[in-house]
């Protein structure tokens, strides 16, 4: 490649596009893993995916990726052309996933700057055996002479023309979408793919690799190709077709003489269609050749290019073949770091807005602030709209994360010999991108537990009279500013007695407290403790007592919680409750002992003024308050955190009723300040972690307020 060519942009584009292709590939394969065979559309799609990855990897000189993609492409080319019967479907699924894993692993090395040193020979040999088997040959003879991939330096693909009676000549015109980045690389991928069938190949612009400015030319004028090949037009269209970056492809077959003219302008003037003049007028004009001025030929005549001449400019004429254009959504790729920086700036804007609107100078008696209040209201509206737009930009669907769980179910169930069906519900539910990173590991552990612990073996299900297949359902929904993600299985369910026995062995039960006094939810929470496992055998997936504690830690780190339900013999449901976003929340500001605290408004049920006669005091120091016949445990916030100067009498303060997962408590504070949008900031690492506190924020007066974690207070 030419000196100074920006390979970093090219590499980023390679990783982005192939990453998306691999996600689509895995989705297709996992959707049809339980079928008898791939349908025709899927076969064609997988073939095209491998063909594209092979071509782009060849350009980038990643030889092992090129080789393994080429070998899998051979399999699906044979299936597409020959339609073989009795293809071992699950074996083919595993081969496709093995190839996808290999390519993904190599791409991760590329992204991390590590050497791309994966060895594809073993995978190629296995696929070669499979291909030989479905062709009806002896698999033992396949793959013996598998050669290591050797890179050949890409060349300008001009092949000496040797036309035969079977040769066809094509003129190909490719239009890319206007927002396509590095269109010269996309054009080169087309050339690279066509060279496999080409006898002679020319393209314009010519210098598409070393000259980055050719990208602008291609977007403006299109990419032109002349092809000589012993291939029918349908085969050419298989290689060059509309898709990811290509908006339109026009292929026309020409004769040898036209091919030899190359890209010279063939001198056609614009074709004018006069829809207004009468036949007599048109015939009269044909008798006056001197009056006709020759118009210069256009630089480019695109297929279907007509100029419509009309005497009435007020009425637009349309050809019958014209269709109204639909606006196409435009997308650009943005670095996540920039999105995070933008979100931080929005947070600072919210804080600055609070500082301005709550400024002490505005509280001077007698000030007329009507105009200021109108401007402040407009500012608040704009900042709120801005927050909503930025938040929507950060929201991504859970579909990709759910598909990864589909893969885990497939792999684990195959290794454990269990026949398990996987179902996804609500996979288009959107959450903050940063939350995706926090929930991937918890979901993986929960799904593995469902497959390994929850669902019985095929023999055990038959003995219990269960006729339906084992099933894992992964679902998501939004509710009151929270996202619920549930993993449900139809397995054996949790054994309460076994969990209690294990908890007693580990000394987790209270002395003197009978087992019957523990609710099912309390018992099931024991499995989330570090080192707790009811499996008697250590397997690849469970038995070491790690997993569910990781789930709880990761979820609590983002202000979420885990809920467990189970019915013996019927199955279990494990649900994660997480916030939609971590950045900006609606909160209630309150004060105790001269310090400010904030509580998320979503967990607050009501505020209650209480009298002393509503209080109940236990000998052990526990306090309760009776509100409309319901008893709530009381937490004095000032006493909880060892503060001074907080109000002792309940009649001087305010009770805040909190509800978290069917548990309710009354939080006693000195006074309420008001509702405010809160920008969540982490507590500095040098401050010891305190239970019940999840972060901090800056208030309008510049002071710092601690953000209370309701789940931590109740636990």
* 482 or 629, greater pLDDT: 629
Q: Which pLDDT band holds residue 277 (cuts at 50, 70, 90)?
A: low
Predicted confidence (pLDDT) at residue 311 exceeds the cutoff of 50: no
Q: What is the pLDDT of residue 481?
A: 65
- Range from 63-77, 138-152, 312-326, 479-493 that averages highest in pLDDT: 63-77
Triad 588, 590, 596: Cα angle to 5°: 115
Predicted confidence (pLDDT) at residue 319 exceeds the cutoff of 70: no
Q: Which pLDDT band holds residue 18 (cuts at 50, 70, 90)?
A: confident
What whole-number distance in Å separates Cα of residue 486 and Cα of residue 473?
8
Q: Lowest mean pLDDT: which of 96-100, 258-262, 407-411, 531-535?
A: 531-535
Q: Lowest mean pLDDT: which of 65-69, 124-128, 518-522?
A: 518-522
The DSSP annotation for 162-193 comes to ---TT-EEEEEEEEE-TT-TTHHHHHHHHHHH
Q: Which pLDDT band holds residue 103 (cuts at 50, 70, 90)?
A: very high
Q: What is the pLDDT of residue 591?
A: 92
Q: What is the pLDDT of residue 298?
A: 42
Full 3-state SS string of 334-372 = CCHHHHHHHHHHHHHHHHHHHHHHCCHHHHCCCCCCHHH
What whole-number distance in Å separates Cα of residue 26 and Cα of residue 4?
37
How far is residue 567 from each of residues 237, 484, 487, 492, 495, measured CA to CA in Å? 56, 20, 14, 8, 9
In the chain, the N- to C-terminal Cα span, in Å, equals 63
Is 532 in a helix, a strand, or coil? coil
Q: What is the pLDDT of residue 329?
A: 47
Predicted confidence (pLDDT) at residue 476 exceeds the cutoff of 80: yes
Q: What is the pLDDT of residue 381?
A: 87
Q: Which pLDDT band holds residue 157 (cuts at 50, 70, 90)?
A: very low
Q: What is the pLDDT of residue 332?
A: 66
How far is residue 196 from each of residues 178, 357, 641, measured CA to CA in Å? 28, 68, 74
Q: Which pLDDT band holds residue 316 (cuts at 50, 70, 90)?
A: very low
Q: Residue 15 in contact with residue 111, Cβ under 8 Å?
A: yes
Burial of 375 (0-12, 13-18, 19+ CB in 10 A): exposed
Q: Which pLDDT band holds residue 275 (cuts at 50, 70, 90)?
A: very low
Say what the pTM is.
0.59
Q: Residue 534 in contact with residue 499, Cβ under 8 Å?
A: yes
What tens digit of pLDDT does each residue of 643-670 get?
A: 888 888 889 999 999 987 678 899 999 9
Q: Residue 548 in contact with residue 567, Cβ under 8 Å?
A: no
What is the torsion angle, in degrees rounded to the nearest 10, for the CA atoms of residue 429, residue 430, residue 435 and residue 436? 70
Predicted confidence (pLDDT) at residue 121 exceeds the cutoff of 80: yes
Q: Which pLDDT band holds residue 2 (cuts at 50, 70, 90)?
A: very low
* 185 or 282, greater pLDDT: 185
What tens digit of pLDDT does each residue of 566-601 get?
A: 888 889 999 888 876 666 777 899 999 889 999 988
Q: What is the pLDDT of residue 550?
A: 75
Q: Residue 448 in contact with residue 547, Cβ under 8 Å?
A: yes
Q: Residue 321 in contact with residue 296, Cβ under 8 Å?
A: no
Q: What is the pLDDT of residue 290?
A: 40
How far is residue 715 from each of residues 113, 556, 663, measured CA to CA in Å? 45, 12, 10
Determine what percent of the chain is predicted with pLDDT higher than 70: 81
Predicted confidence (pLDDT) at residue 154 exceeds the cutoff of 70: no
Q: Residue 233 in contact with residue 197, Cβ under 8 Å?
A: no
Q: Residue 108 in contact with residue 86, Cβ under 8 Å?
A: no
- Span 365-386, average pLDDT: 86
What tens digit of pLDDT does each residue of 190-241 get?
A: 887 888 788 888 888 877 766 777 888 888 888 888 888 888 888 888 888 8
Determine what percent of the chain is predicted with pLDDT higher than 90: 9
Q: What is the pLDDT of residue 268?
A: 41
Q: Which pLDDT band holds residue 302 (cuts at 50, 70, 90)?
A: very low
- Range from 147-161, 399-413, 536-550 that averages highest in pLDDT: 399-413
Q: Which helix (H) or strand (E) holds 483?
A: strand 482-489
DSSP structure class, residue 141: G
* 300 or 689, greater pLDDT: 689
Q: Which helix (H) or strand (E) holds 598?
A: strand 595-600
Q: Lowest mean pLDDT: which of 328-332, 358-362, 595-599?
A: 328-332
What tens digit of pLDDT does each residue of 491-519 get?
A: 888 888 888 888 888 888 877 778 788 88
Q: What is the pLDDT of residue 625?
A: 92
């Amino acid at each position: 490649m030419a000196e100074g060519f920006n390979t970093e942009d090219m590499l980023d584009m390679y990783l982005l596009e192939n990453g998306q292709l691999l996600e689509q590939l895995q989705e297709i394969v996992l959707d049809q893993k339980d079928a008898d065979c791939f349908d025709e559309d899927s076969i064609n799609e997988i073939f095209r995916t491998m063909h594209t990855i092979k071509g782009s990897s060849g350009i980038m000189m990643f030889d092992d990726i090129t080789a393994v993609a080429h070998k899998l492409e051979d399999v699906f080319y044979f299936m597409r052309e020959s339609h073989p019967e009795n293809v071992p479907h699950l074996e083919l699924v595993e081969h496709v996933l093995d190839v996808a894993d290999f390519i993904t692993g190599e791409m991760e090395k590329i992204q991390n700057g590590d050497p791309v040193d994966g060895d594809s020979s073993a995978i190629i040999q296995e696929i070669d055996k499979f291909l030989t088997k479905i062709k009806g040959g002896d698999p033992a003879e396949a793959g013996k002479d598998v050669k290591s991939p050797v890179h050949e330096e890409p060349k300008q693909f001009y092949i000496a023309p040797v036309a035969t009676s079977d040769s066809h000549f094509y003129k190909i015109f490719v239009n890319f979408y206007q927002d396509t980045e590095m269109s010269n690389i996309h054009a080169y991928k087309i050339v690279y793919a066509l060279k496999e069938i080409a006898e002679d190949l020319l393209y314009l612009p010519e210098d598409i690799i070393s000259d980055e400015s050719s990208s602008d030319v291609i977007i403006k004028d299109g990419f032109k190709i002349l092809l000589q090949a012993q291939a029918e037009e349908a085969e050419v269209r298989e290689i060059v077709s509309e898709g990811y970056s290509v908006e339109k492809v026009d292929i026309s077959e020409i004769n040898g003489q036209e091919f030899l003219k190359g890209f010279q302008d063939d001198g056609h003037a614009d074709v004018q269609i006069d829809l207004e003049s009468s036949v007599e007028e048109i015939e009269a004009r044909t008798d006056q050749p001197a009056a006709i001025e020759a118009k210069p030929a256009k630089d480019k005549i695109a297929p279907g290019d007509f100029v419509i001449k009309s005497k009435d400019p007020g009425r637009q004429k349309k050809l019958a073949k014209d269709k109204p254009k639909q606006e196409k959504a435009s997308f650009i790729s943005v670095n996540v770091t920039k999105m995070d920086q933008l979100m931080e700036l929005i947070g600072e804007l919210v804080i600055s807005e609070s500082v301005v609107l709550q400024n002490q100078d505005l509280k001077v008696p007698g000030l007329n602030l009507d105009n200021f209040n109108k401007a402040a209201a407009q500012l608040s509206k704009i900042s709120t709209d801005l927050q909503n737009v930025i938040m929507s930009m950060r929201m991504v669907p859970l579909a990709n994360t759910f598909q990864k769980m589909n893969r885990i179910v497939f792999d684990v169930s195959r290794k454990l010999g269990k026949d398990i069906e996987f179902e996804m519900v609500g996979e288009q539910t959107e959450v903050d991108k940063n939350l995706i990173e926090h929930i991937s590991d918890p979901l993986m552990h929960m799904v593995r537990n469902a497959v390994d612990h929850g669902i019985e073996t095929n023999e055990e299900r038959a003995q219990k009279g269960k006729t339906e297949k084992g099933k894992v359902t992964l679902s998501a929904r939004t509710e009151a500013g929270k996202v619920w993600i549930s993993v449900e299985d139809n397995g054996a369910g949790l054994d309460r007695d076994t969990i209690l026995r294990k908890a007693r062995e580990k000394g987790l039960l209270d002395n003197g407290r009978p087992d019957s006094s523990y609710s099912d939810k309390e018992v099931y929470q024991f499995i989330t403790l570090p080192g707790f496992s009811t499996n008697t055998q250590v397997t690849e997936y469970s038995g070491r007592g790690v997993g569910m504690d990781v789930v709880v830690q990761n979820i609590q780190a983002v202000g979420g919680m885990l809920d467990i339900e189970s019915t013996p013999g019927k199955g279990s449901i494990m649900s994660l409750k997480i916030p939609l976003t971590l950045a900006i929340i609606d909160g209630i500001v309150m004060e105790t002992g001269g310090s400010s605290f904030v509580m998320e408004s979503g967990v607050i049920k009501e505020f209650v003024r209480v009298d002393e006669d509503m209080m109940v005091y236990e000998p052990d120091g526990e306090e309760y308050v009776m509100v409309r016949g319901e008893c709530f445990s009381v937490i004095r916030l000032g006493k909880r955190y060892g503060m001074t100067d907080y109000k002792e009498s309940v009649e001087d303060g305010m009770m805040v009723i909190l509800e978290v997962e069917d548990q309710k408590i009354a939080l006693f504070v000195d006074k309420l300040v008001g509702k405010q949008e809160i920008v969540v900031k982490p507590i500095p690492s040098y401050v010891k972690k305190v239970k019940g506190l999840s972060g901090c924020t800056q208030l309008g007066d510049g002071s710092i307020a601690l953000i209370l974690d309701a789940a931590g207070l109740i636990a």
